[in-house]
Every structure is written in C-alpha cells, then in structure tokens.
Amino acid sequence: MNKGKVYLIGVGPGDPELLTLKAVRILAKVDIVLIDSLVEHSIRHFLRPQAQVIEVGKRGGQPSTDQAEINQMLVEYARQGLLVARVKGGDPFIFGRGGEELAVLNDAEIETEVLGGLTAGIALPGNLQVPLTHRDLAKGVSFISGCNKTFDNDYQWHELISLNHTLVIYMGLNKVQDIADALIASGMARGTPAMAVQDGSLATEKAVFAPLLHLARAIKQEQLQSPTLIVIGEVVALSPHWDEENIAQALYGANILVEAAR
Ligand code: SAH
C-alpha cells in the first residue's frame, strides 16, 4: 500500500491566479481534498477528475464540520494510504487553524507538508494599492482577528496603537463598530484612514474607504458581507481610491464613502 500524506495548502484569497505553482502541481496529484467552501471554485479546475472533494466549511447556513472531525478525517484518509489535500483560503497558518491540524497530524505521525499561500491581509491591500508598511507612515503591520479568544474588553489597544503599525483585521466585520470605538477611546485619531474590502480578488469585490470614525457606517451603507477584511492606518490614504475631498466632507456627515471601482 502507498504511504499516505497530508498537504496543508493555502490557496490565496480567491482569484485562482493567486495560487502558487507548487499548489497547482500538488493539487493535480491528490486523491482527496478537504476544503472550505469559500475557496472551492478557485481550485476545482486543477484537480484530477477522480479526486474526491469533501466540503467541510460553512455553506448556505449549514454549520461547518466540527474541527475534531476534520482532524480525524485527515488522519484516517492518510492512514488509508491516500494523498490528502487540506485546502484553506489565504495562508493556512494565518487565522486558518492550520497550526491545530498540523499538531494533530504530527502527533499521529502522519507525513505532512505545508504549502503557504498568499494571505488576504497581504494580497488585498496590495490590489487596492495600499502599501502596508511605509518608512514615514507605518513602522510595521499587525494582523489581528476580530473574533478570536484574544478579542475581548481586555484587548491591549493602547499597546497596539503605540506600535505605530498598520492594522489588518480579519473576521472583524461584525465587530467593526466596537473595534473602531475601542481604538478611538484608546487614542487613535478619529480621522485615521481606514478601508474594508469584501470578496477581495474576486469579480464580486467591493471596497469602502472612510475615516475610522465612519468606517462602520460606510460598511453598513454599502452592505458589505463576509468575507471582509479591514485595514486601518495612514497608509490607506496612499491608495488612489482614497478620495481626500469626499472623505473630508465625510467628517461633516455628507458623502461618507468612496467605492473602489475595479
Ligand atoms: N487563512 C486566511 C484567513 C482565514 S480567516 C488567510 O490567510 O487569508 C477568514 C477571514 O479572512 C475573513 O473573515 C476575512 O476577514 C479574510 N478574508 C479571506 N479571504 C478574503 C477575501 N477574498 N476578501 C475579503 N476578506 C477575506
């Protein structure tokens, strides 16, 4: 019997052209694919016709497969001698639970290979011409999650602000008002440039640009849905989509957003 193996593969934010060549090569030889539904369309084309695809992500309001169940499936399929791809959007180790799955596979002594992918937090600001770091405007960049165990009232917003980093917030859509309020209460300027992008890199991409104070309102007005990525920092104003005049008006309650035309 062949020896099974699991590939933890990141496939980027959605546009199939953002897959790595290595991911494409490996996808073309695996027997079985466990996939989050968000990224399904970007890889189908590269699989063997015989490859079995199992969707474990959320879809149409259905609950996603339990993480423990996914872990068990990975181990069992590999033990059957199959080549298994565990495919995730973006990069598997950026808010993708890749670390948890890796630990289970290593404990079970399953051969595992990790193929990094282009994370949404890097790919999407870049597409919208927002440079995440800049010698004059941002000393670095922090990737944070809007909805994990670390986000609660105790979150150290002051410390985060003092780093002078661009903030890239994953899974922050439902908490955007709370996050903006907390940042402003902790000393961040109300007019700090901010943006949010839904379905980044896909045909349905939609982005809004607004000062931090109005970000939540702009997102609501444009009815952005998940998945949406949020970026906050002076660098956002370097994008040609940041319209200084409109946004100055926004501070007085007029036209509050600029939609990025693609
Ligand atoms: N591992 C993934 C992130 C998983 S968390 C990565 O590295 O990109 C899921 C969150 O990622 C979403 O809630 C959203 O904030 C962000 N995201 C992923 N793909 C996106 C896309 N195409 N457009 C906008 N946001 C995206």
What is the whole-number distance in angstroms between the Cα of residue 221 and the centre of ligand 1?
21
Supply the CATH number for residue 247's domain.
3.30.950.10
* 108 and 142 assigned to the same domain: no
What is the whole-number distance in angstroms between the Cα of residue 228 and the centre of ligand 1?
7
What is the whole-number distance in angstroms between the Cα of residue 89 and the centre of ligand 1?
7
* 136 and 252 assigned to the same domain: yes
pTM, rounded to two decimals:
0.91
Residues with CB under 6 A from ligand 1: 13-14, 88-91, 94-96, 119-120, 124, 170-171, 197-201, 226-229
* 73 and 166 assigned to the same domain: no
Question: Tens-of-pLDDT digits for all 262 residues of the chain?
Answer: 678 999 999 999 999 999 999 999 999 999 999 998 767 777 988 999 999 999 987 555 566 788 899 999 999 999 999 999 999 999 999 998 899 999 999 999 999 999 999 999 999 999 999 999 999 999 999 999 998 555 555 678 999 999 999 999 999 999 999 999 999 999 999 999 999 999 999 999 999 999 999 999 999 999 999 999 999 999 999 999 998 766 655 554 434 444 443 3
* 127 and 254 assigned to the same domain: yes
* 164 and 251 assigned to the same domain: yes
The domain containing residue 64 runs over which residues?
A: 5-115
Q: How many helices (H) and strands (E) does the chain have?
A: 9, 11
Structural domain count of the chain: 2
Tokens representing residue 67 in the block: 């993480």
* 227 and 243 assigned to the same domain: yes
* 247 and 155 assigned to the same domain: yes
Nearest 5°: phi and psi at 168?
-115, 120
* 93 and 180 assigned to the same domain: no
Q: Which of 70, 87, 115 is the last residue of a domain?
A: 115
Supply the CATH number for residue 43's domain.
3.40.1010.10
CA-CA distances (angstroms) from residue 95 to 74, 165, 176, 220, 256? Answer: 19, 19, 18, 24, 31
* 154 and 216 assigned to the same domain: yes
Please check whether residue 195 is in contact with residue 130, taking contact to mean a CB–CB distance below 8 angstroms: yes
What is the atom index within ligand 1 of the atom nearest the CA of 118?
Answer: 7
Tokens representing residue 259 in the block: 């939609």
